[in-house]
Structure 1
Amino acid sequence: MMKRDPNQILIFDTTLRDGEQSPGASMTIDEKVKMAHQLNRLGVNIIEAGFPVISQGDFDAVSRIAEAVKGPTICALARCVEKDIMAAVEALKSAENKRIHVFIATSPIHMKHKLRMEPQDVIERAVESIKLAKKYFDDIEFSAEDATRSESDFLVKIFSAVIEAGATTINVPDTVGYTMPDEYARLIDKLNREVKGIDDVVISVHCHNDLGVATANSLAAIQKGARQVECTINGIGERSGNAALEEVVMSLRTRKDLYDQFTTIETTQLLNSSKMVAEITGINVQYNKAIVGKNAFAHEAGIHQHGVIAHRETYEIMRPEDIGFTGNDMVIGKHSGRHAIKQWLDNNKINLTEEQISDLSSQVKAFSDTRKHISDADIFKILEQTNMHYAKV
């Protein structure tokens, strides 16, 4: 494995695997390849392309991506089962850089009711699987499924064992979105202190958003030594989704006063990536979604509009251009003030007197009480109906 800056956070994108498991989000093979190329442009380090053993379509998609996308590591998921591992070997044979990601459940509830295995048997199965994978891969990730509901001492045992067997990344997934940031941080800290061989591998985190704290948990883990974050574009994924790639990346970038860590993500491609995922899956992004939502850089309140017009950092902690937006958006509505109206007039090269501006502002507020959105055409109509004579400048 190549040496890298210890403060670099590897971005492991699982939009094409976990993200596609969102109800209704299935992608065709061509769509997956198209998305993989966009993830390459975005600069993700690892693309989890799929779960080859589950269907011929998933196998073919992983194979196509492995052949077509060069640069990032292409990863395939496999249970700790020989047929899964061999399917991943075959699917990834054309990859320039390849990784296998094997997993087995480690929580008492999963081991008892799903696997019906004893803890020691789970460790032995994991070790056998890593040893098999080692025959074909230098880059091997091991996940302890449902880690945050597992006994921490058992996690120390199984992670120590798989590292000795050849794992190069250990993943600590919050599979059901159960843990809280301080709790997760304590777990990562314990593993960092007690797992044998931990200094020779990368600690990864994979957080689900069932309680709305997937991004917060990922960031808490980073502060305790995690150096890979598994995430998806727009936060799509099983149930309530995964940690959103754009939120993790921009948090690290924006709060450099708290984090010494960085990513290699080309942030100007975040909006394009978000739009492509929405278009392919049909899952639209909510307007107030952090970073990439339509309203992320929109301002309607007059006080906010005045502040942003005077100095954007009064109400914007990020530059919209850095994410791929063309600029911020001054929304004209009932909460807008004279400063936003003036800017709209300037943008449309319209010159009004101060009295006319006040009158237009009042008319806009009254008009906006009857509808949710006001377009440029609506404002021109108000100007016409009120016989407001103006000069183009």
Structure 2
Amino acid sequence: MKNKSDQIVIFDTTLRDGEQSPGASMTIEEKVQMAHQLKRLGVNVIEAGFPVISDGDFKAVSEIARQVKGPTICALARAVDNDIEAAAKALSEAENKRIHVFIATSDIHMEHKLKMTREQVVLRAVSAVKKARSYVTDVEFSAEDAARTDLDFLVHIIEAVVDAGATTVNIPDTVGYATPSEFGQLIKALKTRVRNIEQAVISVHCHNDLGLATANSLAAVANGARQVECTVNGIGERSGNCALEEIVMALKTRHDKFAIETDINTRELVNSSKMVEEVTGIHVQPNKAIVGRNSFAHEAGIHQHGVIANRATYEIMRAEDVGFESNEIVLGKHSGRHAIRLWLDKNKITLNEDEITELSNKVKALSDTQKQISDSDVFAILNQSQGDNVVSVDATQYLGSKRW
């Protein structure tokens, strides 16, 4: 890790918060497999689970702690002794270990869920952090629903838990309520007002209920947060979390604005995304940023012309840098002659200009009747056209070729 001022800790909670997505439950073996992939990806902290909630989660955290060396392995615990003891036991074989304790701090949560006063919550938080510190030196404290917490109270409880030994303080937007300007100002205020904040790393954990999780996380980073909690493919409770691939590539692509690094091997982003799809059964939409199959695909003729001439015209990232083999020029009703020429070149087929025009027109006509045009479709058009003496190439030799 570099100096904390120019380096972001990527805290992955795919195995904990991500698994809380309805239908995303993973087996112990799947969690271990995923943890090894997260290590290859280069995440700094793997939140492996919530050991007290089930025997399966306890065993998964224990096995990940035993097998996965290098990243910090983190276990979640409520601010109660039994949770913290279970977390410590599950982490016993970890090379680098962290206990993550949390308690709600917003008035609505304290009144209706916890049935506790502010003073009681502070005492419970301090006690939990001290108990966690009796087991490990790396303790994270989360003020659940921090984005809706009274600022004066939030400052007070953060100061108290840092004095008690918390090394990371997490500011969650638990219900995805904040806007980027609000959330950035919250982090800035904490940096200014918390007297002992330099003794801890400020972390953020943003949910995506309004589609703002990545934007809020970026705003927090711009204002001093140095850990971002996220999940692969953005899975998680309700609408999910800040997507790991989005925050990482935003920081990398806009290095001119943030000048901040991560340890992530971005070429493992697509592999990680596919593994999460496989183990959870939750598939990303085609237009998902970074890892969706349309992220580097072009069908519109104007875009295709630009990309063929210079990829930077319509691509701000390289497909290869996130783990795809290449970008994709898609043939369809919006495609132009430049895409047809590129397709012909790739398949080592030579046509004259009239034949190219004829092929382009037939591809467009076919695309009016079906959603996708495959290689086989184009070869069939060529073969039919040869039979009609429209083209001079023997396309039959290409039929059955693999999809371009």
1:257 corresponds in structure 2 to 256
Deviation track 1:183-215 (CA, whole Å, cap 9, x = no partner) reads 001110110011121011100000000000000
Matches of 1:94 and 1:196, distance apart in 2: 35
* Aligned AA (1:85): I
2:287 corresponds in structure 1 to 288
Matches of 1:153 and 1:188, distance apart in 2: 13
Where in structure 1 are there 5+ consecutive unaligned residues? none
Instruction: Return the offset for 1:252.
Output: 0.4
Q: Does 1:45 align with 2:60?
A: no
Deviation track 1:119-169 (CA, whole Å, cap 9, x = no partner) reads 011000000111111111100000000001110110000000000000000
Map 1:103-252; keep pairs closer than 5 Å: 103-252=102-251
Instruction: Return the offset for 1:5.
Output: 4.0
Matches of 1:114 and 1:128, distance apart in 2: 20
1:389 corresponds in structure 2 to 392
SS in 2 for 1:162: helix
SS in 2 for 1:257: helix
* Aligned AA (1:304): H
Instruction: Return the offset for 1:377.
Output: 0.2
* Aligned AA (2:392): H
Asked if the contact 1:15/1:237 (under 8 Å) is kept, the reply is yes
Matches of 2:45 and 2:392, distance apart in 1: 59
1:29 corresponds in structure 2 to 28
Matches of 1:106 and 1:354, distance apart in 2: 70
Matches of 1:16 and 1:370, distance apart in 2: 43
Matches of 1:199 and 1:58, distance apart in 2: 34
Asked if the contact 1:159/1:170 (under 8 Å) is kept, the reply is yes
Asked if the contact 1:63/1:94 (under 8 Å) is kept, the reply is yes
Instruction: Return the offset for 1:380.
Output: 0.5
* Aligned AA (1:199): E
2:357 corresponds in structure 1 to 358
**So what's the TM-score if we normalise by structure 2?**
0.96
Asked if the contact 1:271/1:325 (under 8 Å) is kept, the reply is yes
Matches of 1:389 and 1:82, distance apart in 2: 80
Where in structure 2 are there 5+ consecutive unaligned residues? 399-404
Instruction: Return the offset for 1:3.
Output: 7.5
SS in 1 for 2:241: coil
Aligned residues: CA RMSD: 1.1
1:267 corresponds in structure 2 to 266
2:73 corresponds in structure 1 to 74
* Aligned AA (1:284): H
Deviation track 1:36-79 (CA, whole Å, cap 9, x = no partner) reads 00000000000000000000000000000000000000000000
Asked if the contact 1:234/1:246 (under 8 Å) is kept, the reply is yes
Matches of 1:172 and 1:256, distance apart in 2: 24
Matches of 2:306 and 2:327, distance apart in 1: 13
The alignment-based identity, stated in percent, is: 67
Matches of 1:3 and 1:62, distance apart in 2: 28
Matches of 1:256 and 1:113, distance apart in 2: 43
1:6 corresponds in structure 2 to 5
Matches of 1:322 and 1:384, distance apart in 2: 37
SS in 1 for 2:172: strand
Asked if the contact 1:351/1:391 (under 8 Å) is kept, the reply is no
Instruction: Return the offset for 1:391.
Output: 6.2
Matches of 1:5 and 1:115, distance apart in 2: 35
Map 1:331-346; keep pairs closer than 5 Å: 331-346=330-345
Matches of 2:302 and 2:2, distance apart in 1: 49
Instruction: Return the offset for 1:265.
Output: 0.2
* Aligned AA (1:173): P
Deviation track 1:348-392 (CA, whole Å, cap 9, x = no partner) reads 110000110000000000010000001000000111112222169
* Aligned AA (1:132): K
Q: Does 1:327 align with 2:326?
A: yes
**So what's the TM-score if we normalise by structure 1?**
0.98
Asked if the contact 1:171/1:203 (under 8 Å) is kept, the reply is yes
2:401 corresponds in structure 1 to none
Q: In the comparison of the two structures, how many residue pairs are matched?
A: 392
Matches of 1:390 and 1:341, distance apart in 2: 15
2:96 corresponds in structure 1 to 97
Deviation track 1:65-103 (CA, whole Å, cap 9, x = no partner) reads 000000000000000000000000100000000000000
Matches of 1:205 and 1:59, distance apart in 2: 25
Deviation track 1:284-340 (CA, whole Å, cap 9, x = no partner) reads 110000000000000000000000000000000001110001110000000000000
Asked if the contact 1:352/1:391 (under 8 Å) is kept, the reply is no
SS in 1 for 2:209: coil
Asked if the contact 2:383/2:394 (under 8 Å) is kept, the reply is no
* Aligned AA (2:229): E
Asked if the contact 1:278/1:284 (under 8 Å) is kept, the reply is yes
Matches of 2:347 and 2:184, distance apart in 1: 52
Matches of 1:130 and 1:363, distance apart in 2: 69
Deviation track 1:4-56 (CA, whole Å, cap 9, x = no partner) reads 44210000000000000000000000000000000000000000000000000
Q: Which contiguous aligned blocks of 4+ residues in structure 1 show a shift greater than 4 angstroms?
A: none
Deviation track 1:204-262 (CA, whole Å, cap 9, x = no partner) reads 00000000000000000001000000000000000000000000000000001111111
Matches of 2:249 and 2:2, distance apart in 1: 24
1:297 corresponds in structure 2 to 296
